[in-house]
Amino acid sequence: MTDTQVGIIGAGPAGLVLSYLLHLEGIEAVVLEARSREYVEQRVRAGVCEQPTVELLRELGVGERLAAEGLPHRGLSLRFDRADHRIDLAELTGKAITVYGQQEIVKDLIAAHAGKGLPIEFEVSDVELHGLDTESPRVSYHDSEGNARELNCAVIAGCDGFHGISRPSIPAGELTAYDHQYPFAWLGVLARTPPSHEELIYTHHERGFALHSMRSPEVTRLYLQVDPIERIEDWSDDRIWHELEQRLETRDGFSLREGPVLEKSITPMRSFVVEPMRYGRLFLAGDAAHIVPPTGAKGMNLAIADVRNLSRALKALLCDNDGELAASYSDRCLRRVWRAEHFSWFMTSMLHTDPNADAFQHRLQLSQLRYTASSRAAATSLAENYVGLPFDRAD
């Protein structure tokens, strides 16, 4: 049996940032993770960091490698009518985004934990949460050697993602779920080849959406809109590159660089939110509470915004015996969550080819794209949301 102030379920960016924020406030925490350290450090996920996320990681002292290896982007391209229409993020907002893989942030945070001797238990199993409606919740589990363990806490933070144990541990009827399924999926490809363009390209094409992104100067990340019933086995590397070439082509002869495909997978698209993000002494953060389609590049950034709020609420609760911020945690997070949900829906709806839409709706899409690319006001709205609203403004 172990005692700690905060038990954190999940060693993704949300759980690790929360643990480190609490450490800086002198609050004890233990992180429990079902996967191995090697797995979570290699798990490829998001790659776009909003400016507020970058600034927070630097403030925490874990941004050295991000500053050295991250790829700052001062703009992005909307590609439609077979031409690029650049949105100048920096000129419109004075801010930028940084491309730096989620797995790299996880590596940096795990190394920082190890350097400070902060506890992370990997490869735990049979995790169960108890006493959530009391002031002494606890976590039972088996450690990596199969030993039964119990963690007594003052608070539990559920940072274990959409399929984790935290949200299902809340009694039925205590949460309201908002779920929206999109009629398409993303086929994602990681390829060992230099990026074909210096910035991200979001493409609207009659064959379907495509995205050109990157993870480093040597590795490119690419996505194709596909039907959700597609099987990855039916997509050979040659077929993927051929489809990318068709959708990314421009009238001025854009050249797509090809290379060995390192990974490929198909991911359904959905929007999902639960309210409230708290039950008793269990607080949900990140994908445990909300999912956004990746078109807006908000998932990891929302998770980090959540735990920034949560760390402040827990400091007040555990150090000052002040429960006001804890009581308002969900409301403050959800203001930012719903703004990000709307922006992600907007980007998804504007750029994807809806198989159920008629010709009228397709013309509306093109009208919105042309307006966004030609109107400073519309472009500024997109840019402001894309680079990330300031924490205090959105929270």
Rounded to the nearest 5°, which phi and psi values hold at 193?
-160, 145
pLDDT of residue 44: 72
pLDDT digits (tens, 9 = 90+) for 288-340: 999 999 999 999 999 999 999 999 999 999 999 999 999 999 999 999 999 99
Residues 6+ apart with CB under 8 A from 190: 44, 215, 219, 220, 221, 261, 262, 263, 264
Pick the CATH number of 2-73+97-178+270-355 from 3.40.47.10, 3.50.50.60, 3.40.640.10, 1.10.1060.10: 3.50.50.60
* Residues in a beta bridge with 32: 9, 121
The model's pTM is 0.95
Helices and strands (DSSP H and E) totals, the chain: 12, 21
Domain boundaries, the chain: 2-73+97-178+270-355
- In 9-119, which ranges are continuous DSSP H helix? 13-24, 37-42, 51-60, 64-69, 89-93, 102-116
pLDDT in tens, the chain (395 residues): 569 999 999 999 999 999 999 999 999 999 999 999 999 998 777 789 999 999 999 999 999 999 999 999 999 999 999 999 999 999 999 999 999 989 999 999 999 999 999 999 999 999 999 999 999 999 999 999 999 999 999 999 999 999 999 999 999 999 999 999 999 999 999 999 999 999 999 999 999 999 999 988 999 999 999 999 999 999 999 999 999 999 999 999 899 999 999 999 999 999 999 999 999 999 999 999 999 999 999 999 999 999 999 999 999 999 999 999 999 999 999 999 999 999 999 999 999 999 999 999 999 999 999 999 999 999 999 999 999 999 975 44
The region, left, alpha or beta by phi > 0 then psi within -120 to 50, assigned to residue 131 is left
Query: Known catalytic residues?
Result: 73, 202, 294, 298, 386
pLDDT of residue 175: 98
